Structure 1
Amino acid sequence: MSKMRWIGAAVLLALYANNSWAFNLDDVAKQAKNLAGKGFEAPKSNLPSQLREMKFADYQQIQFNHDKAYWGKLRTPFKLEFYHQGMYFEYPVKINEVAANAVHEIKYNPDYFNFGNVKVDKDQTKNLGFAGFKVLYPLNEKNKSDEITSFLGASYFRVIGAGQVYGLSARGLAIDTALPSGEEFPRFKEFWIERPKPQDKQLVIYALLDSPRATGAYRFVIHPGKDSTVDVQSKVYLRDQVGKLGIAPLTSMFLFGANQPSNITNFRDELHDSNGLSIHAGNGEWIWRPLNNPKHLAVSTFTIDSPKGFGLLQRGRDFSHYQDLDDRYDLRPSGWVEPQGDWGKGRIELVEIPTADETNDNIVAFWTPEKLPDTGKPLDFSYRLHFTRDENELHSPDTAWVKDTLRSAGDVKQSNLVRQPDGTVAFTVDFVGKAMSQLAADTQVAPQVSVGSNADVVEQSVRYNPVTKGWRLVLRLRVKDNKQPTEMRAALVSGDKTLTETWSYQLPANE
């Protein structure tokens, strides 16, 4: 063999060796499939009682030392920090770094943490681990690292874009949400994080999911930016039958808002991470479902073939709606799921759980496929998550969307011009949109309204709104039984053309 041919062969051999080693989703999927073929082994808590029984305020005092950030001394824009075990984050998760030619575990060390005023016996922490991790990146300023992603607890993770603060959460998987048998919470038990190169603008994270009836392999590609996105690939394996499998779950909080005002005087008119479920159906229809904080558990189902997208959105970002300088609900992102490929037949479910305060996430939305695979066979789903404050950019400019849903006691104007309550419930729904704003104010616009059997329509009227350059629908209903929920739908048309998304609302039972 000539010298040149020998060198060429050596180069090819080296390239082949590197390519054959590269860590990918299949490596995690093999572990997930093997786990699914075995009985579930419940995680064991290794927490001393002092850390397990601590209150949230004490847990918050345990902070990662920023000067020990992982990759802190590398010329990469990404850095890692870790969460300590404690409180209800009692199980350790294994975290690995994927380097150029090897994988190695990132070992726990109590010296990574500042324990504040919490008295901790260092000898009792030696064999502990991390509860999760966060990712830092210069999102808002070139030379300042911001927390952009957090993986902590079960399969929960949160992501934000520029100028945003944490709000709703995404999850890897939901099982039997809102079923009488009780919900099962899968957890990410191990992560692999690719070491980024100096020029990288994205971060790749792999995760292994485990639960009594399912396992899963996940690949997350995080793209930080004005609207951060996460590309998700997942392979789920069932150990046993499940009642309901939730794909791409989003979890949020709704306490009160303009469509359901607080019954206690509050300087804030609205308090929520999200105020509606948006759906882009496979047939092109857009649906907007304002959220409620019901007195009883409520589950709404939307049968959809091949969904184009769905999400929990925070519509209406004027600070005056929220007036909260501490929690900045006006800056919390909307979460949008954009399926990759054809998801086929199934349904989007919205679960609304009663809550008395804003500390509980009481809203869940997810996709559940019509048909589940046999045990041991993979269920593959890929999607892109968007975290945005530009909700109107999600829509086609040709379709107007609901800007506000305002609820009040219905009334009629007397001959003396005094308004008299008449026992009805009134909704004022403002539709806006780019194409709609270009219509002449005298355009003939009509409502298409339908309500369930629990109410009669007393009034349905539409008028031009010169302030928003949209159209306002006023709908008054007389509810027959306040102990039952009332369903209603509305859209605006001009001639044979539908101008708006479908406003789909459920007035909760009053008792």
Structure 2
Amino acid sequence: MNRRSLLAFGLGAGALAAASPALGQNFVAQALQSALGEGQRFTATTLADLARLLSKRAYQAPSSELPEPFNALNYEQYIGIRAQPGAVLWNNEGRGFTVEPLHRGFAFGSAVSLYVVEDGIVRRVIYDRSRFDYGSLKVPATLPDLGFSGFKVFGDPQNGRQREVAIFQGATFFRSSARGQNLGVMARGLTLKAGDPKGEEFPLFRAYWIEQPAARTDNLVIHALLDSESVTGAYRFTLRTGDVSIIDTEITLFPRAPVENWGVAGMTSTFLFGPNDRRNVDDLRPAVYESGGLQIHNGNDEWIWRPLSNPETLQISAFVDPAPKGFGLIQRDRDSAAFQDDDQNFERRPSLWIEPIGDWSPGLVQLVEIPTESEINDNVLTYWRPKQPLQPGADVSVAYRQFWCWQPPERAPLAQVTSTRVGRGRTATARRFAVDFTGDMLRPAQTAAELKAMLSSATGVVSNLRLWPYPERKLYRVGFELEPGNETACELRLVLEAGGKPLSETWLYRWTP
């Protein structure tokens, strides 16, 4: 069925559904097969038409029902299920990538359709019981087509072996990493209603189309169909591997309903405790976090560093920007001594940096920090929230580049914040801060006479401001105390200046009791 036939199918779907309840219930599956299923020719235009068609119908959640024993798996049982070598796409074909389909179960109950595109033609990846090793599970001799929960991508060949470079699994979540790193921060295809009192809406990818990679390539193209109660969308991911993994993301959204709080280029990470926030912690490790802070390069060419925290109550921060140049959750601590964790190796978790492609409309970088008592919970979320809400009938297109890296590709010619420590002050309510700035520009001796620490707080009272220079380490330490009084939150701002110009990035911090 070509594009014109798909549109005709969509226009007649209401009458067909009324005559056949079964078609109404399976409309998504019918549309997928008719537009971009087995034997069809794949085009990005057809995928966008399919997403547009679905946006004009009521949302139908995918099936999450699973037969025994997959409907009650624990984590250990689930990770014991592994694909056989014969189930890995393009295995032993000498291509730059291979793809491993992932089984459903545990927290990944929703069915996802997988397709490959070979010479422009769609081929469906069919679930087959014999293509998985189930470990200790007792599995029936025959199983229906269960679909998949997602897939892993292996690439970046080194010494004849490929490493895991990405995983797409669960809702619209996906991860990647640079060479030599562990997986950590997680990206989102779309963020809807985060922090809303009525609850967040989690869209999902209903299907993926993976283009067959060329021999020994470092480039893999993945298409996806997004679906949710409020929005549908067509996605194109272009993954490139090497010392840094880069994912270019191109999105076209088709709203079903108005949505004011929405965001793109979203990512989640974990911050349990660190030198700036050890509230109620009894742990032999000095710190536990995947990302230490939010970095922003805003449209005014200001570089911002906002240390993360694990607050007592939900905290939502907004950084208004007419045209962002980049932002991301960054892990700056690369010394294992900062964490002393021989299992998790937080110092090897990736930073994720977003670089807009094209003009982004005015909006804000939104940061959500959620209280948690467990390091397995992603309690930090950040994303770009456009000023304009989503409206039915108004398609929205956005593009951006993700850098999964050791450090962002662009670094400001400014001193960076390398440490934020917070502790008890001179009174029962005061808090003492020590902020370290490090950079080559802090080495000259004359800097000490010219440099000033510009500190302010929107509420509360700051005092006892002191500056300790350590030029041999290219480091300046700023110390001060905050007396919050009866305030429930204090917004602090600190930057080093010399000759009236910034010598450091801007340190922002929200203190809460």
**TM-score strictly above 0.5:** yes
In structure 1, C-alpha distance between the alignment counterparts of 2:482 and 2:465, rounded to whole Å: 9
Structure 2 partner of 1:318: 335
2:399 equivalent to 1:385: no
Q: In the TM superposition, what is the alpha-carbon distance from 1:343 to its structure 2 partner?
A: 0.6
The one-letter amino acid of 1:399's match is L
Q: 2:174 aligns with which of 157, 160, 182?
A: 157
2:99 equivalent to 1:95: no
The one-letter amino acid of 1:25's match is A
Q: 1:191 aligns with which of 200, 208, 215?
A: 208
Structure 1 partner of 2:49: 30
Q: 2:484 aligns with which of 476, 479, 485?
A: 479
- SS class of match (2:329): strand
Cα displacement string for residues 487-510 of structure 1 (whole angstroms, at most 9, x for unaligned residues): 11111111211111111101122x
Q: Where does 1:57-136 land on structure 2 (aligned, <5 Å)?
A: 57-66=76-85, 68-123=87-142, 125-136=143-154
Q: Where does 1:17-56 land on structure 2 (aligned, <5 Å)?
A: 23-56=42-75
In structure 2, C-alpha distance between the alignment counterparts of 1:438 and 1:131, rounded to whole Å: 56
Structure 2 partner of 1:256: 273
Range 254-263 or range 282-291, more displaced: 254-263
Unaligned runs of 5+ in 1: 1-20, 412-420
Q: In the TM superposition, what is the alpha-carbon distance from 1:111 to its structure 2 partner?
A: 1.7
- SS class of match (2:327): strand
Q: In the TM superposition, what is the alpha-carbon distance from 1:39 to its structure 2 partner?
A: 1.0
Structure 1 partner of 2:290: 273
Structure 1 partner of 2:35: none
Cα displacement string for residues 361-384 of structure 1 (whole angstroms, at most 9, x for unaligned residues): 111000111113431321111000
**C-alpha contact 2:110 2:149 (8 A) present in aligned 1:** yes
Structure 2 partner of 1:403: 418
The one-letter amino acid of 1:401's match is Q
Unaligned runs of 5+ in 2: 1-39
**C-alpha contact 2:492 2:509 (8 A) present in aligned 1:** yes
In structure 2, C-alpha distance between the alignment counterparts of 1:66 and 1:325, rounded to whole Å: 31
In structure 1, C-alpha distance between the alignment counterparts of 2:462 and 2:477, rounded to whole Å: 17
The one-letter amino acid of 1:270's match is A
The one-letter amino acid of 1:499's match is L
Q: 1:245 aligns with which of 248, 262, 281?
A: 262
**C-alpha contact 1:430 1:471 (8 A) present in aligned 2:** yes
- SS class of match (2:450): coil
Structure 1 partner of 2:452: 446
Change (3 A) 1:205 1:460: same
- SS class of match (1:166): coil
Structure 1 partner of 2:502: 498
Q: 1:425 aligns with which of 414, 427, 431?
A: 431
- SS class of match (2:306): strand
Q: 1:350 aligns with which of 355, 364, 367?
A: 367
Change (3 A) 1:130 1:422: closer
In structure 2, C-alpha distance between the alignment counterparts of 1:181 and 1:264, rounded to whole Å: 31
Cα displacement string for residues 143-172 of structure 1 (whole angstroms, at most 9, x for unaligned residues): 111111000000000001100100010010
Range 374-383 or range 440-449, more displaced: 440-449
Change (3 A) 1:426 1:505: same
Identity %: 35
Q: In the TM superposition, what is the alpha-carbon distance from 1:220 to its structure 2 partner?
A: 0.4
**C-alpha contact 2:156 2:218 (8 A) present in aligned 1:** no
In structure 2, C-alpha distance between the alignment counterparts of 1:161 and 1:22, rounded to whole Å: 34
Q: State TM-score, norm by structure 2.
A: 0.89
How large is the Cα RMSD of the aligned pairs?
Answer: 1.7
Change (3 A) 1:470 1:443: farther
In structure 2, C-alpha distance between the alignment counterparts of 1:24 and 1:162, rounded to whole Å: 32
Structure 2 partner of 1:371: 388
Q: State TM-score, norm by structure 1.
A: 0.89
Cα displacement string for residues 226-263 of structure 1 (whole angstroms, at most 9, x for unaligned residues): 11110110011110012311111111110001111253
Q: 2:468 aligns with which of 463, 469, 477?
A: 463
The one-letter amino acid of 1:78's match is F
Q: In the TM superposition, what is the alpha-carbon distance from 1:349 to its structure 2 partner?
A: 0.4
Q: In the TM superposition, what is the alpha-carbon distance from 1:94 to its structure 2 partner?
A: 0.6
Structure 1 partner of 2:219: 202
Change (3 A) 1:325 1:241: same
In structure 2, C-alpha distance between the alignment counterparts of 1:465 and 1:298, rounded to whole Å: 35
**C-alpha contact 1:46 1:128 (8 A) present in aligned 2:** no
Q: 1:289 aligns with which of 288, 306, 320?
A: 306
In structure 1, C-alpha distance between the alignment counterparts of 2:443 and 2:394, rounded to whole Å: 50
- SS class of match (1:130): coil
Structure 2 partner of 1:181: 198
In structure 2, C-alpha distance between the alignment counterparts of 1:480 and 1:223, rounded to whole Å: 51
